Structure 1
Amino acid sequence: MLIYVLRRILYTIPIAMGVSMVCFALIHIAPGDPLNAIIPEGASPERVAQIRTAYGFDRPLPVQYLKWLGHVAQGDFGESIMTQRPVMSEVLPALVNTLTLASAAVLFGFMLGCVSGVVSGYLMGKPADRIVTAASIAGVSIPHYWLGMVLMVIFAVNLNLLPATGMGEGGSGTFGFGWDSLQYLILPALTLAVIPAGIIARSVRGTVAEVRQQDFMQTLQAKGLPGRRIFVHVVKNALPAVLAVMGLQLAQLLGGSILVETVFSWPGTGFLLNNAIFTRDLPVLQGTILVLAMFFVLINLVVDVVQTAVDPRIKRA
């Protein structure tokens, strides 16, 4: 087990290096000069040259990358062009908020998807299976932002049951676990949970149906094992695939919630990315993308390790 984990960590290092190269290159291949946002209008060529030198843009790209990577390795992502604050002081609070939202969405989607997927897998071909299948396809197909606006109109405007935007009273950016904060989490979490619920339900349905058709399940039934014990064996054999899907959905929601966070004004990384794009705050944009990409790599590593702990056959593959 330890050797497998160390091997997975070694595989992660070149992936992380490749991600950092892509994040660095994105800023330089984007249209326009990255320094346009801070160069004063009508600045003299000498002043422009001074600014480019101050930000290191006068050096070759490989030198810029190595210098930037060295600062990143020390936790220094530079300063925001708009706020003049360290990038990490902008990214970390937003990342915590996004993790809160994504975790709630994945938890809700996991519970709903697993229950409906197991029911569908046990009742294949019956009306319940058709209903779950249709709901799963609809959930995966519905655009996030459209569903968010519909839920906002129904529950915040028409019924006045839940707040429409923000994360707390008076635009507070601090999340607690009382009702005052949880009520702001419900609508965006439900909006984000629809796609994971649909994907997990389809995955669980297929896995449960496949496990139930295997020879060892027929043997357990022939021996007269109670249905409750057989159900435990089905869940145990389906768990590795479900964990993989759940981990990937959590990682995807970290970077894929930009539209939902913008619709609900949730101060997470998606909201931060949206503002950075429109203000061309490239250090914040670069730092946020890199942090999210690293989290995606880390979550995949954790999922691989957890899968191996649950199903030892993986490390022998």
Structure 2
Amino acid sequence: MRFLLNRLAGAAVVLALVAVLVFLLTRLASGDPMALMLGDQATVEDIAKARTQYGLDKPLPTQFVLWVGELLQGNLGQSIFLQRPVAQALLERAEPTLFLALFAVSIAAAIGVPCGMAAAIWRGSVADQALSGLAMLGASIPSFWMGLLLIQWFAVHLGWFPASGYGDPGMALGQRLYHLALPALVLGVLNSALVIRFTRASMLDILGEDYVRTARAKGLSESVVMVHHVLRNALVPIITVLGLTMALMIGGTVVTETVFNLPGVGNLVVRAVLRRDYPVIQGTLLVIAAIYVGINLVIDLLYTVVDPRIRLGGA
């Protein structure tokens, strides 16, 4: 309980700082959302009237206090351009981004953990050098380039997958995931590079421990030693990198969603920035920060599951 209270207090401080920074940065950006919304034909009087209607004519401290008051009531605000609550707009765009992140993290784990284990087991061999080189290559490839390459090959030439979009409304979950296959493959393959390096480094740290040599001396098979003794004790940093990768994908899939024309949160943020839709920018970034904090808390709690020796009471 003490650990949870400390983490919740820290989360509140982080979110408060994020709220201040997001509010100030959106207001410092050039451009008037009212002028963009009303168009070139709007007069100065029309713009001033619209600013008064949305409360943008008030001093910045007053605007901030009013916004925080709405946040404390569970209201993220009203979108200027979409003319509906920000929470509703986020819920409408959350499904593609969430499924894409889960799908991509699964691919990254399926590729990264076995490859990292193999690189650690055959340390210094040709296989280790090849896997390490592929990891460096994967970390260097731009996501938009790989996305366009997969679209050209698998969607245009072979016709195996749709080139873009998320399907029609009401489509079954399997069809949704089918549309997400290529973007998930892009993110999964590229992010597996980090998982490979962390898994390899973590495994190498454990392979030199005395209990690993003892397990081998007892006559246990190499597979049992690697899975039950080495991998299990190396899971803490692996879980950390997978959790942070998940959080990064939820908040950072803007380029991939744009390339594949997915109606996700990243696409929503890009449009909001171009339109200077302050409530959408503020609400979305605050929710993403809350997701980061929540995933970090879940990761800390998972530590006690994979390694019972870890105690969180004194954290």
The secondary structure found in structure 2 opposite 1:35 is: helix
Segments of structure 2 that go 5 or more residues without pairing to the other structure are: none
- Which one-letter code corresponds to 2:208 in the other structure? Q
Match of 1:189 among 175, 184, 188: 184
Pair 1:174–1:166, CA change in 2 (3 A): farther
- Which consecutive aligned stretches of 4+ in structure 1 deviate over 6 angstroms post-superposition? none
Match of 1:259 among 255, 261, 265: 255
Aligned length: 312
Instruction: Determine if contact 1:97/1:268 at 8 Å carries over to the other structure.
Output: yes
Q: CA deviation at 1:313?
A: 2.6
**What is the alpha-carbon distance in structure 2 between the residues aligned to residue 263 and residue 93 of structure 1?**
20
**Structure 2 equivalent of residue 204 of structure 1:** 199
Q: CA deviation at 1:255?
A: 1.4
**What is the alpha-carbon distance in structure 1 between the residues aligned to residue 47 and residue 162 of structure 2?**
47
**What is the alpha-carbon distance in structure 2 between the residues aligned to residue 265 and residue 42 of structure 1?**
31
**Structure 2 equivalent of residue 64 of structure 1:** 63
**What is the alpha-carbon distance in structure 2 between the residues aligned to residue 27 and residue 280 of structure 1?**
8
Pair 1:33–1:181, CA change in 2 (3 A): closer
The secondary structure found in structure 2 opposite 1:84 is: coil
Find out whether 1:216 has 2:173 as its counterpart.
no
**What is the alpha-carbon distance in structure 1 between the residues aligned to residue 99 and residue 148 of structure 2?**
21
Instruction: Determine if contact 1:28/1:34 at 8 Å carries over to the other structure.
Output: no
The secondary structure found in structure 2 opposite 1:191 is: helix
**Structure 2 equivalent of residue 295 of structure 1:** 291
Instruction: Determine if contact 2:33/2:275 at 8 Å carries over to the other structure.
Output: no
Q: CA deviation at 1:314?
A: 5.2
**Structure 2 equivalent of residue 25 of structure 1:** 24
- Which one-letter code corresponds to 1:252 in the other structure? L
Amino-acid identity (%)? 37
Segments of structure 1 that go 5 or more residues without pairing to the other structure are: none
Q: CA deviation at 1:27?
A: 1.0
Give CA deviations for 1:94-139 in whole Å, capped at 9, x if unaligned: 1222011011000110111001111111111112111111111111
Instruction: Determine if contact 2:166/2:262 at 8 Å carries over to the other structure.
Output: yes
The secondary structure found in structure 1 opposite 2:74 is: coil
Indicate the RMSD between aligned Cα atoms, in angstroms: 2.0
Pair 1:279–1:47, CA change in 2 (3 A): closer
- Which one-letter code corresponds to 2:178 in the other structure? Q
- Which one-letter code corresponds to 1:9 in the other structure? L
Normalising to structure 1: TM-score of the pair? Answer: 0.91
**Structure 2 equivalent of residue 84 of structure 1:** 83
Find out whether 1:313 has 2:310 as its counterpart.
yes
The secondary structure found in structure 2 opposite 1:81 is: coil
**Structure 2 equivalent of residue 159 of structure 1:** 158
Normalising to structure 2: TM-score of the pair? Answer: 0.92
Q: CA deviation at 1:284?
A: 2.0
Q: CA deviation at 1:276?
A: 2.0
Find out whether 1:53 has 2:49 as its counterpart.
no
Q: CA deviation at 1:297?
A: 1.6
Pair 1:71–1:308, CA change in 2 (3 A): same
